[in-house]
Structure 1
């Protein structure tokens, strides 16, 4: 037993020395591995998020259909997944066509308000600091140009994308790569959601095969607690969003304010 630990320590030290010696090579290898694993990791994350509303629909809304007939039992999960995808797509469409235009308009109004406020602030400072020439010079140099601010913001947000898309071919390649990654991730997520009971049993067998029972139970308990916490958090956030939305709609309706959808 003692010699086995010494041997493991020597092997670990050798790997550590080689990794530190060829650190750049190790980083490149890890990057290559991550590029391969990333679509599946993203698919797992998508499945983890979608499983919360999908399980709710499958158990609460389609539970009676599953109990009554075999066809309903087989169709409950695909129907719940389809309803979840439609719901998520509806939320994204609402954000794209409802929130983003209003946010753009609000930013434009904010720029206009700031450009109107700067001259007023300059006049106010001149009235109270006309004896101080240094302050007067700073006030005269203070200018706000909305066009320049907008250009600066756009350039700041677009630097990363602009560096990757210098040519049309690189842009097409980036879009194609992104679509391929999303397709692989979404397909893997659907596979996980359709086979989650079977995969759960297989993962349990693998964990108990290579890890002692006490540690395996602890790992499974942590995973279960993580999922329950995330599910409760997501449900709470959705409920809070609905309540706040209804409160704003009722308040604006009572005050007869204009609402843009």
Structure 2
């Protein structure tokens, strides 16, 4: 048997065996992948932070080098210090504004939950009477809510294990945050060196025919993640801040709580706006239908202003994925991996979309020629 055919057969057998192992131990492999991703969480968060701060970092670096005539290393260090001082300052300012309001909103909602349910029942009765349909009784929801709040109050006397667990979780989260920040600093300051190392590694281990493809793939991945991660994070912060300020001006209830929900759901393209808006409307319906309507009108105007005026100037390019594929990727990713699947599915789908789009254009040129 020729060596080439023998090698081909051996590769085919190895591929079949690997496929059988994957099918048989699929759940175990998924758990292993999940464990690896969990262990690498600080690295992923650090990469996200580096993507978000990359453009301001480059802006400050150019400013310090051109205006202050600093050398590369001092300009780099000063840029990183400036960025993190501004970031921590802005976060501290936002938290000092939002957390007291958020705590007050949650307390208010818990204490008035019974009144809100009765008000909702009255509103539903009026609507059903107006439409001549059968009344919808939510007394069971009221009883369940009262029972839950009662059990929650009773469980506060036995919360020592939960307090210990929460404390350990907070310590772990703080440690993860510190490691992620340190990694983001290393990534930003040494990104040229890291990219050069990656290029050398690809050049050595990949065959020559794959060098151009690997370079194109890396450029697409970097561009997509920079546009998506940095863009969505900036959009979420801007939208949540504007929502908080606008709701305070309009004197709408739960401004802190709803603004946090709007900012968090804004990380999910297209669908996030509807999820956050619907949640805010439902919360305000318990208080007053008029306030819910005012909030809905305000949010529509705010999203139009933010999407057409602020986003193109502050954030930059869109992710370049049609809305249909965004919704499909969110649906599949959310169904498989929950909220994290919804967040990560869009950039991954965008990468495949861009690669297929380039390949189709290349093949069309070949066919035309």
Q: Normalization by structure 1: what TM-score?
A: 0.65
Deviations 1:108-153 (A, max 9, x none): 48969846744754785798799x9x74xx56958858x749949x
Higher mean displacement: 177-186 or 221-230: 221-230
**Displacement after TM superposition at 1:84 (Å):** 1.4
Retained in 2: the 8 A contact 1:46–1:189?
Answer: yes
Retained in 1: the 8 A contact 2:117–2:142?
Answer: yes
**Aligned residue among 158, 170, 173 for 2:168:** 173
Aligned to 2:187: 192
**Aligned residue among 39, 44, 48 for 1:36:** 39
Q: Is residue 223 of structure 2 the alignment partner of residue 225 of structure 1?
A: yes
Aligned to 1:49: 52
Retained in 1: the 8 A contact 2:61–2:76?
Answer: yes
Aligned to 2:65: 63
Aligned to 2:83: 84
CA RMSD of aligned residues (A): 4.7
Q: Which has the larger radius of gyration?
A: 1
Higher RCO, Cα 8 Å, sep 6+: 1
Retained in 1: the 8 A contact 2:46–2:180?
Answer: yes
Deviations 1:56-82 (A, max 9, x none): 2222x323256x243xx3222222112
Aligned to 1:15: 18
**Displacement after TM superposition at 1:36 (Å):** 2.9
Deviations 1:163-200 (A, max 9, x none): xx944543343233323322322222211112111111
Following the alignment from structure 2 to structure 1, what is the Cα–Cα distance between the partners of residues 28 and 170? 29
Following the alignment from structure 1 to structure 2, what is the Cα–Cα distance between the partners of residues 82 and 90? 12
Report the CA distance shift for 1:218/1:88 in structure 2 as closer, same or farther (over 3 A). same
Aligned to 2:204: 209
Retained in 2: the 8 A contact 1:125–1:139?
Answer: no
Retained in 1: the 8 A contact 2:51–2:229?
Answer: no
Tell me, which stretches of 5 or more residues in structure 2 are unaligned? 154-159, 257-369
Following the alignment from structure 1 to structure 2, what is the Cα–Cα distance between the partners of residues 226 and 126? 49
Tell me, which stretches of 5 or more residues in structure 1 are unaligned? 156-164
Retained in 2: the 8 A contact 1:118–1:144?
Answer: no
Aligned to 2:7: 4
Higher mean displacement: 201-210 or 100-109: 100-109
Q: How is 1:120-135 mapped onto 2 (pairs within 5 angstroms)? A: 121=123, 124=126, 135=135
Q: How is 1:232-251 mapped onto 2 (pairs within 5 angstroms)? A: 233=231, 237=235
Following the alignment from structure 1 to structure 2, what is the Cα–Cα distance between the partners of residues 118 and 235? 35
Q: How is 1:101-140 mapped onto 2 (pairs within 5 angstroms)? A: 101-103=100-102, 108=108, 114=116, 117-118=119-120, 121=123, 124=126, 135=135
Q: Normalization by structure 2: what TM-score?
A: 0.49
Following the alignment from structure 1 to structure 2, what is the Cα–Cα distance between the partners of residues 179 and 169? 15
**Displacement after TM superposition at 1:13 (Å):** 1.5
- The alignment of Structure 1 onto Structure 2 pairs a total of residues equal to 237
